[in-house]
Amino acid sequence: MSSIANGSGPELEKFPDAPPSIEVTAPEEPPHAGLRSLDHYKRKLPTWRYSLRQSILPLIRWETPYLAWMQDKMRSPTLDTYFAITANAGTHTFFMVVLPILFWCGHTGLGRGMVHILASGVFWTGFIKDMTSLPRPLSPPLHRITMSGSAALEYGFPSTHSANAVSVAVYALFALHSPECKLQYSTRLILEVVSYSYAVSIVLGRLYCGMHGFLDVIVGSIIGALISIVECVYTDIIDDYMYTSTWAAPAMVALVIIVLVRIHPEPADDCPCFDDSVAFAGVMIGVEIGAWHYASTGFAWNHPVPGTVPFDLAYIGWAVTIARVLLGVVVIFAWREVMKPTLLKTLPHLFRVIEKYGWILPRKFFLPASEYKKIPARLKVDNVMPSVSDLPGLLTSIRHPGRGRSVSVGPQSAADAYETLAYREKRRRDSLTNTELESAISPPRSPSTSSTKRDYFSTGNPDKDGAVSQVSGISASLGVANTGNLPTPAQSRVGSYEQMMGQGHVMISPATPDEKDDDDDDNAEIFVGQQNELEEKEMFSRLEKPRVRYDVEVVTKLVVYTGIAWLAVEVNPILFELLGLGMGNVRQLH
């Protein structure tokens, strides 16, 4: 696969009013499909990363038929909707909306802890994803059920959703069992059940939705648990260092985070994991700098943690609390709507000057400023925090939760396509090996039985009896033949799902339906598919084309999200006091 973003694609047309585009193509004269796909990662990755990838990949392939069997056993429209919706509670967008409210309502210690564990989880899972470049479990045989169009474009190992969910649950359990927790036993028990249910629901949902395998969620959960344990054990030591030191402490934290962003591994394919890591790195920088400075002002409380935002619901009341939240949200959205287009417009000129002196450290899949004249207006730079223009669609998805769900079967990303081709080649080699062994130990067979090639996805032999549908539950959308996919008496039922792996059917299913859809059709599922096994060139031509990514986006994200966090932890709390939405004189008495 090639793209103009890394300099190997077609020339970019430099029209000021026309956005550039990326073309994903296969080589004109590729070697055998499976050989090409295997060679892709061998060429793109360093030797040690490629060896690590190849050692983990068999586990992901081995577990896929079992995942398909489990999904087929559990599938129902109700569970489809439930797990698709609850997956949003483990997304970056959900936490970016909830975290500022924790600060504004006086839960500063909880808010900082959540920022630490979530930012670390997003960064390190994204770090490992790009380092190993491992695909999600193959589809088919899995159905992928999602409400996010960008989720399937990321690598699969490990699961960020699982890391986030488990880290939040472990952190909550630590807080509930700490000596400082003054909640009644019944309340604490209810919150414990909620914590366990939240983590189990998100982790199980990633398996049910076909987005991750057992290995992905297990490793993701371990990462999330370890991050929360470190946070809970060492948070007091870290706070003592941060809030009793000079400006050098937050500056050192910011420097370390920027260095980690710079050494983030380059992926083999165009994967958006890095974008999410940069966004949350900016949030971490903004929280540490803003909280450190806010703690030194006369507006903050030093109890229960330094830099606590003054808040007392009994004194302020619900009306003022709601007004605080609305004002804070408006300020954050205003910052994002002003700063993002401003930076995207001004930074390219600075980058072109710096690039002349060779100071820019280029990153693959990001277009250098010297190769474009203008960034399109209203460019959707990230999927972490919605823009103002996204709010109508977000409200629609809340009113009609089933409408945003999509079910797709087949490769959705370059990683999917390469893995489909690689597994197809693996099956071809295994078939040749088995044929040679059989010919060595068995007498010759008649030409009618030995030379016939079975086509598992031939549309000329439909599954008239529906036997395969009963086994797999997905043959209707794939056109599975009655012969080939049915297990023999010597095969396990899971074997039928294994035979569907590597049968590249490109499915491009939008995350949200067309706006022209009738409002009554709230629970409609979207299926778009091809019934014939696709060859390599056609497979890549039908994949969703990645958008052009610009070099200035990295700095833009860092500045915008650093500012969002700074506004949340320092600027907005001060505004609340100045505008009469704070604690007033009671704050000083406290």
Q: So which residues are the catalytic ones?
A: 161, 212
207 in Cβ contact with 70 (< 8 Å): yes
**Can you tell me the distance from the alpha carbon of 475 to that of 463, in angstroms, rounded to the nearest whole number?**
8
**3-state class of 487 per DSSP?**
coil
406: enclosing H helix or E strand: strand 406-408
- Side chain identity, residue 524: A
* Residue whose C-alpha is closest to residue 537's, from 33, 2, 179: 33
Of 322, 286, 282, 334, nearest to 92 by C-alpha is 282
Signed CA dihedral, 553, 559, 563, 565: sign only:
positive
Nearest to 113 by CA among 259, 233, 251: 233
What is the rounded CA–CA span in Å between residue 568 and residue 114? 14
The tokens for 513 are 């339906």
Instruction: Report the distance separating Cα 92 and Cα 436, nearest Å.
Output: 52
**In angstroms, rounded to a whole number, what is the distance separating the alpha carbons of residues 170 and 190?**
15
Rounded CA-CA distance 495/485 in Å is: 8
d(CA 35, CA 486): 28
| Residue that the structure tokens 């609850």 belong to | 86
Of the candidates 421, 582, 539, 501, the one whose C-alpha atom is nearest the C-alpha of residue 210 is 501
What the block records as the tokens of 529 is 């598919």
Reduced 3-state DSSP string for 287-328: HHHHHHHHHCCCCCECCCCCCECCCCHHHHCHHHHHHHHHHH
Pair type for strands 406-408 and 549-550: unpaired
Give the residue from 218, 213, 202 showing the smallest Cα distance to 142.
Answer: 213
Longest dimension (CA), the chain: 97
Beta bridge partners of 308: 301
Instruction: Give strand pairing partners of 408.
Output: 144
Determine the Cα–Cα distance for residues 363 and 6; give it in Å rounded to an integer: 8
CB 238 within 8 A of CB 253: no
- Helices 108-132/214-243 angle, 10° precision: 130
Alpha-carbon distance of 485 to 432, in angstroms, equals 19
Name 143's Cβ contacts closer than 8 Å, sequence gap at least 6: 71, 75, 210, 407, 408, 409, 474
Bridge partners of residue 550, in order along the sequence:
367
Contact assessment for residue 99 and residue 111, using Cβ atoms and an 8 Å cutoff = yes
Instruction: Name the residue type at position 293.
Output: H
Q: How far apart are CA 348 and CA 342, in angstroms?
A: 11
C-alpha 271/C-alpha 275 separation (Å) is 9
